[in-house]
Structure 1
């Protein structure tokens, strides 16, 4: 009979020792070969361009390009913590308790790697190496020209809908002298395309996904409540790459833009 046990000594200790030596060698070579990016002392008379957060916060700073501060700095980081806390209550897979293998936890490992490497690590790399003066994107070997200008005509979803897609040709508006209820009604009408899109995304899309065999299997095993929590956390995670693609492809700024209430999504 094949013995699947792995002894701590010498198997595991040797593996950890080799990894420790290899990583230490890489860090020593890195420290010798590359100069530390130390700049001149901070001065109130000279603001660096761009002003960057520490590298471990550059992911959050990059998210500010696509979301308002209350979303990028409060809601999304909080959902990361809430999502991690919810994992023990959502996870129905009893295999691999105490250990993790990709064979037995394909979904969990894939979601974690997608959230950590393509979304978090790549955002840090983008903010560190590709964001230059005025927070413009520069190529790897492109000179960081402070005079580089990029004409950006970011448009809200309501402007796309009322000015272009619907054929109306104008945005619903109100006068300052209008009563408050009319102002609220006009604002809600103006942003109704974005409100409908958000409601469909978070409330209609999870049941629609349950029609797909893969998600249908998850729904049957999780139950309604756990599935909806899982699906909404998944959609919140997908909201970042979706918003990035919308910004890059059609210069979409906000799905819901209500500056009167300081509420933008």
Structure 2
């Protein structure tokens, strides 16, 4: 008898492929909170940073001796007599401005200007993240004020001001007997004005005209933003800009053309 043929064995079934794990759904930007409470999130980080910085400064002050000089000698006056490095910028401004401006008005403008930044800058873009595209003007203005009107003057006072508060290049010897013959004149005198009343009038026209023209030009350039920013904010902003630029102009006039004052009056000099 013939035997029945067995059907061919089926090949072993392959294990079913595992379904790819689904990635966790990304959180939509709309789901993120628009505001985060200052307490405890920000205050906690600031407190930790303050503790770390305090510990570092404490260890640093204990391990390193401060470079103190010898006791003051009343019979020997240092030449030049310099303020601490962080005040040398203001001391150098005394060369170009009267003490009422360099010692009072300039520091007050610096402090008030920094305090007004959050109220004058109403641009909502750039809050919470760093961006240059959305903050070009703000970054350039701050960099100009910090680097030019503060750091540059400190560097000049530390490294370039020598005996007699004269300017010395880095490669020049600090000669204590150096005498520089400078004939500083007021701007109206340099323009040919010889009478006192006329000089006061010309100086006033130059200074007030600078602020008037600068304000008008800025308002014309930013006329589209006037509705959103507001007149008062824009006016205060442009005045701070013009004062910053005016300080640099006055320094350039003194160093380049020996101009002492632009506006001379019986009450104040600018």
Which bracket does the TM-score occupy, shorter chain normalised? 0.7 to 0.9
Distance, in Å, in 2 between the alignment partners of 1:218 and 1:146 is 55
Higher alpha-carbon deviation: 94-103 or 74-83: 94-103
Cα RMSD (Å) of the superposition?
Answer: 2.9
Question: Partner residue of 2:259?
Answer: 252
Q: 1:137 to 1:218 in 2, by over 3 A?
A: farther
Secondary structure in structure 2 of the residue aligned to 1:191: helix
Q: Quote how far apart the aligned CAs of 1:197 are.
A: 1.1
Q: 1:37 to 1:257 in 2, by over 3 A?
A: farther
Distance, in Å, in 2 between the alignment partners of 1:37 and 1:52 is 15
Q: Deviations over 1:17-61 (max 9, x none)?
A: xxx9xxx9xxx9xx99xxx86544311111000000000000000
Q: Quote how far apart the aligned CAs of 1:85 are.
A: 1.6
Secondary structure in structure 2 of the residue aligned to 1:97: coil
Q: Check if 1:240 corresponds to 2:263.
A: no
Q: Quote how far apart the aligned CAs of 1:205 are.
A: 1.7
Higher alpha-carbon deviation: 239-248 or 90-99: 90-99
Question: Partner residue of 1:59?
Answer: 89
Distance, in Å, in 2 between the alignment partners of 1:118 and 1:216 is 28
Distance, in Å, in 2 between the alignment partners of 1:130 and 1:247 is 16
TM-score between the two structures when normalised by the length of structure 1:
0.73
Q: Check if 1:42 corresponds to 2:72.
A: yes
Q: Equivalent of 2:173, from 138, 143, 147?
A: 143
Q: Check if 1:195 corresponds to 2:204.
A: yes
**What is the number of residues matched between the two proteins?**
218
Q: 1:240 to 1:3 in 2, by over 3 A?
A: farther
Alignment of 1:137-176 (within 5 A): 137-163=167-193, 171-172=194-195
Q: Equivalent of 2:136, from 88, 103, 106?
A: 106
Distance, in Å, in 2 between the alignment partners of 1:264 and 1:250 is 18
Question: Partner residue of 2:145?
Answer: 115
Q: Check if 1:69 corresponds to 2:99.
A: yes
Distance, in Å, in 2 between the alignment partners of 1:217 and 1:141 is 51
Ranges in structure 2 where 5+ consecutive residues have no aligned partner = 1-25, 33-51
Q: Deviations over 1:161-202 (max 9, x none)?
A: 344xxxxxxx225xxxxxxxxxxxx4xx33111101111122
* Larger Rg belongs to: 2
Ranges in structure 1 where 5+ consecutive residues have no aligned partner = 6-19, 164-170, 174-185
Distance, in Å, in 2 between the alignment partners of 1:244 and 1:229 is 23
Q: 1:217 to 1:45 in 2, by over 3 A?
A: farther
Q: 1:140 to 1:87 in 2, by over 3 A?
A: same
Question: Partner residue of 1:11?
Answer: none
